[in-house]
Homo-oligomer: A and B are copies of this chain.
Amino acid sequence: MKNRYLLLTVAIFSVLVIGCANAEKKTSGETVVFDLTISDDATPAVVERILQYQEKPIKAIKFNKGTYHFYPDKGYEKFAYISNHGDLMVNTPFPLEHFKNITIDGQGSTFIFHGVMIPFFIVNSENIMVKNLSIDWQDSFHSEGLIVANNVKNKTFDMQISDEYPYEIRNGQIYFIKEYYEHTLGQSILYDPKRKAIAFNTEAYTGITTFKTATTSHNTNNINYKYIVDKRDLEYKYLGKENRLFVEELKPGLVRVHGHGKKLPPVGLILSMKGTQGFNRTSPAFKITHVNGFNGENINIHHAGGMGLIAENSSDLILDCFNVTPSQGRMVSTTADATHFVGCRGKVVLKNCTFNNQLDDASNVHGTYQKIVDILGPNKLGVRMMHHQQKGFVIAQPNDTIGLVRLEKSFFPYGSLTVKDIKYINNRYQIIAFNETLPKELEVGDLIENLSAYPNLLVQNCTISNNRARGLLLSNPKNTVIEDNVFSTEMEALLLPVESSFWFESGNATNVVIKNNTFIDCQHSGFNKGVIRLVTDDNNEHIAFRNIIISNNTFKQFDNLILEVSNTDGLKFEKNVISNSETFPQLNPENPIVKIEKSKNLEFSDNENNGNATDFFEPDYK
């Protein structure tokens, strides 16, 4: 088995090297050099030249080293849906659409953005390289408050808010006011400024509870909907809810928060607040859609109002020394995932990257499940996007193979079809024509996934720490290698989920190699969960995960539980070294090292346990 995954790694890199060499050869056009004369607002000059691309081809855009500001006022605008983001109207200085073989080289420059913008908007393009630059925002899309007091009797806590986070209070609600943007308290989590990381056991205190049930309504239950309604979508966001917090200003910059329902945040910690879910992801740093070949190299993303990079329906994406780290004394870097790949194929490589302090996962690799709602002919289906964050996503290209899935029966497709044509009707509804006749067993309510749109994934020599949420979410039935990385995450370092009915993120994991990684104090925010977890949200015995190898890793954990396995057929856990870090008090000392459910063909061998756990397995594991 060891030989198999080594060979895979080698194969991936061979393709990679050849790919890059080809890209270099094909470049043509002029090299555009921008200098600091445009630094006050580089947007108009950059937009002007980029819009001339088709008539005057460009092989490279270089920036003389320095700091460049980018304002939205004269930025190029383009409508777009973006997976797991909320906004449709993109404003960007780099509208790279139908670009080919171009390098953008910051030569060490820093780009400072102002307001709701997307620094790099790259769509329907090929072989794009962006390198040697840092991205930051003048005003952040989140705000931070230092907890300076709390009062258990009155159930209040006090926050000191520095001048860099202007605010106003409207009807007892705090709004943080930015250049071109504002946000509520909304989604929040505690940081420990000493560790510059998510606070230990933050789950006991956060998220600050902002909503409660609204109790007065009249006749609203009699509203009838003809079709499926997604009550999580933004138009229903506040239905049946009202604010439960009350915020008052004690003196300028010092506010008292009443009405929090969890434990009161401890003094000395910093509360990061990023506004209401669904409205707080408007400005990822890189949006990449239908791009074949993207290289991001020596990039530092210090902030973004959303993800560092969101890639959709793209292939061959290589991030090398592509870092997400905070700046300007902020606890937080990006306000959502560092990177996120939806429906990507070919190879996806993250190497030598640091993903620190972002407010969501370091990476999430998956496809989408969409629901069959209409059988429209012998080879035609009407499908519905189920999750509102996937609205507008087109699941496939002609000739892609679509898997037909009925999760009550299996996590693996019961059949497949190839796409002839997709007609986009609206962001929720598309009509797919197939080359073949629909199988007889197909029923309205079944799901589809795109079996052609999963990648060969390599995550190598990366450091993932101090962020909210997970390290890597892996829903990839192709091949995945996770090696030589360091993880210190407040939730799972590695989560292999099948999340079919909440997020509708498709992809049961198969052929996953996790080796030579170091895991330090993961799951420290208070969840009673493993560092590596394989889980499904459908409660059945079917197999979701196959051929998983976890070997030669080092676990330095404050608590016992390392691995949770469920619905798995074929897993090796070997030559791993487990020790106790003593960094934090143990939260769940009764836990074993490994929990297993609904699984078979598991091998555990040559692991070294120097930790505190009494049991390797749960006592009743046979």
Contacts and interface: CB of A to CB of B under 8 A. Distances in A.
Contacts of A74: 382, 425-426, 429
A196 B426 CA distance: 39
Given A72-B426, A88-B89, 15 more contacts: A41-B226, A73-B429, A75-B425, A163-B218, A163-B222, A166-B220, A166-B222, A167-B217, A167-B218, A169-B216, A170-B241, A177-B217, A177-B239, A216-B249, A219-B253
B178 A426 contact: no
A539 interface: no
A411 B224 CA distance: 54
A335 B428 CA distance: 27
Given A168-B214, A217-B169, A425-B47, A71 B227 contact: yes
Interface stretch (A29-37, A179-187, A547-555, A597-605): A179-187
Interface in A159-175: 161, 163, 165-171, 175
A243 B243 CA distance: 14
B168 A218 contact: yes
Interface string A5-49: 000000000000000000000000000000000001100100100
Contacts of A169: 214, 216-217
Contacts of A163: 218-219, 222
Nearest to A240: B168
A606 interface: no
A621 interface: no
Interface in A376-395: 382
A222 B88 CA distance: 29
A475 interface: no
Interface in A208-254: 214, 216-220, 222-227, 235, 238-243, 248-249, 252-253
Contacts of A590: none
Top 5 A-B pairs, shortest CB-CB distance: A77-B426, A168-B217, A170-B242, A166-B219, A169-B216
10 contacts: A71-B226, A114-B226, A139-B223, A163-B219, A166-B217, A171-B243, A175-B238, A179-B223, A180-B235, A218-B252
A79 interface: yes
A532 to B, nearest CB: 40
A225 B252 CA distance: 23
Interface in A84-124: 88-89, 91, 114
Interface string A419-453: 00001111111000000000000000000000000
Contacts of A241: 170
A171 to B, nearest CB: 5
Interface string A58-75: 000000000000011111
A422 to B, nearest CB: 13
Contacts of A218: 161, 163, 166-168, 249, 252-253
A369 interface: no
B425 A76 contact: yes
Nearest to A171: B242
Task: Give how many copies assemble into the complex.
Answer: 2
Nearest to A174: B216
A51 interface: yes
Contacts of A181: 235
Given A170-B238, A217-B168, A178 B223 contact: yes
B79 A182 contact: no
A25 to B, nearest CB: 34
Contact of A179 (B224, B252, B423, B427): B224
Nearest to A215: B169
A471 B238 CA distance: 37
Contacts of A238: 170, 175, 182
Contacts of A219: 163, 165-167, 252-253
B427 A77 contact: yes
Contacts of A253: 218-219
A416 to B, nearest CB: 26
A471 to B, nearest CB: 35
Contacts of A166: 217-220, 222-223
Contact of A73 (B88, B170, B227): B227
Interface string A134-173: 0000010000000000000000000001010111111100
A220 to B, nearest CB: 4
Nearest to A169: B216
Contacts of A171: 171, 214, 242-243
Contacts of A217: 166-169, 177
Contact of A226 (B47, B73, B226, B249): B73
Interface in A562-580: none
Nearest to A241: B170
A55 B218 CA distance: 50
A186 B357 CA distance: 41
A471 B181 CA distance: 38
A520 to B, nearest CB: 38
Given A226-B114, A240-B168, A425-B47, A177 B91 contact: no
A179 B139 CA distance: 38
Contacts of A242: 170-171
Nearest to A91: B426
A209 to B, nearest CB: 15
Contact of A428 (B40, B73, B225, B424): B73
Nearest to A247: B216
Given A73-B227, A218-B253, A249-B218, A239 B167 contact: no
